[in-house]
Structure 1
């Protein structure tokens, strides 16, 4: 897809991968819309912010309506990036924490996707990027709730791409390994971040997938740090 002038909606763009993706997409000439709880620190004539908490259907609907009314242009790309994880054994996890992860990671993806798809199918062009996690490919102890939510995103993505591929709409699910974001701030035992991937690394993967040729479809992309426990690989050619 040629990104120049295309409208790209990103959820959870106030920090981390979402913020890095927003900045890189603006460099590519896209019009970027952030549906986030907090306004990102971006000042650009082609950047728009609409406050949104993806856990709530009414909040997503309001952000969508504001976007359509303000931009008067079809949404070509949706990046479902908003997500969170809460650490803990399942028998010690509160139902509230479990529901928060499901509401954000799974329901939020559904609420956003169902609104943008009809127009994408009508225009025979669109790309939905779902940011999952390697926790959506394999289980990890004390991350049962998070893994369950990301396995759900994986299933949603793989079923959806088969639903919409004949309409010219792409669905790509990206499974990042450890990435240096605020995600790990409240996790016990995570102290060394120097060998993690950077948000900008994942942003470059997103843009690469979006710019692929029309009949070329990357369905699942798994990315990990090369040497997660060091030493850091040399940057020399």
Structure 2
């Protein structure tokens, strides 16, 4: 896709992967709307932030309407990056935390995609990128809720790509391993560190996927740090 001048929405834009994705898409000449609960610290003539609770249908609708009105153009790229994770045993995890993960990580992808797809179909072009996790390919003890949401992202993405490919719309699911972001602030058993991938690495992967030939479709991309425990001592 020739992305220059086209409109992109990046969810979870205030930090980490989302923030780095906004930066790289602006560098490529796109017009970008950041949707997140926290402010996105970027000042650029082609960027605007709309406070958004991705787990709320009403909030997502409002941000979509504001985005289209602001740029006077449909959304042609959607990066579903917003997500969060909590740990806990299946019998001890608070119901509120379980529900919040599914609202943001799963329902949010439905809300955003439901809004952008009709115009993408009219344009016969579009790209939706969903950020899952390697937790979406296996199970992890004391992370059943988070793994459940990321398995859902995988299933939704695979169904979407088959449903939308004949309308010229690509759907790509990316499964990162550990990334050095604030995600681990809520995970007591893991501390973010320099052996993890950088958020800009994932953003660069997103940019690469968007640049691909129109008939070349990345469906699944799994990425991991080369040495997650650092270089071994000899």
Distance in 1 (alpha carbons) for counterparts of 2:26 and 2:116? 20
Aligned position for 2:111: 111
Q: Tell me the secondary structure at the aligned position of residue 174 of structure 1.
A: strand
- TM, length-normalised to structure 2: 0.97
Deviation at 1:51, TM superposition (A): 1.2
Deviation at 1:50, TM superposition (A): 1.1
Aligned position for 2:34: 34
- Cα deviation digits, residues 81-116 of structure 1 (max 9, x gap): 000000111111111111000000000110000000
Deviation at 1:192, TM superposition (A): 5.7
Deviates most, 180-189 or 212-221: 180-189
Deviation at 1:70, TM superposition (A): 1.3
Deviation at 1:205, TM superposition (A): 0.3
Asked if 1 retains the 8 angstrom alpha-carbon contact of 2:77 and 2:127, the reply is yes
Deviation at 1:57, TM superposition (A): 0.3
- 2:78 is aligned with 1:75: no
Q: Tell me the secondary structure at the aligned position of residue 49 of structure 1.
A: strand
- Cα deviation digits, residues 13-57 of structure 1 (max 9, x gap): 000000000001101111111111122110000001111101110
Structure 1 unmatched ranges of 5 or more: 233-237
Count residues with an aligned counterpart.
Answer: 232
Distance in 2 (alpha carbons) for counterparts of 1:174 and 1:191? 22
Asked if 1 retains the 8 angstrom alpha-carbon contact of 2:179 and 2:192, the reply is no
Distance in 2 (alpha carbons) for counterparts of 1:68 and 1:99? 30
Equivalences for residues 136-151 of structure 1 within 5 A? 136-151=136-151
Q: Tell me the secondary structure at the aligned position of residue 24 of structure 2.
A: helix
Structure 1 residues 148 and 211 mapped into 2: Cα distance closer, same or farther (>3 Å)? same
Distance in 1 (alpha carbons) for counterparts of 2:195 and 2:111? 35
Equivalences for residues 1-237 of structure 1 within 5 A? 1-191=1-191, 193-231=193-231
Distance in 1 (alpha carbons) for counterparts of 2:101 and 2:197? 23
Distance in 1 (alpha carbons) for counterparts of 2:30 and 2:218? 21
Deviates most, 180-189 or 9-18: 180-189
Aligned position for 1:235: none
Moved over 6 A (4+): none
Distance in 1 (alpha carbons) for counterparts of 2:192 and 2:211? 33
Asked if 1 retains the 8 angstrom alpha-carbon contact of 2:7 and 2:75, the reply is yes
Structure 2 unmatched ranges of 5 or more: none
Deviation at 1:189, TM superposition (A): 2.5
Q: Tell me the secondary structure at the aligned position of residue 150 of structure 1.
A: helix
Q: Tell me the secondary structure at the aligned position of residue 127 of structure 1.
A: strand
Q: Tell me the secondary structure at the aligned position of residue 179 of structure 1.
A: coil
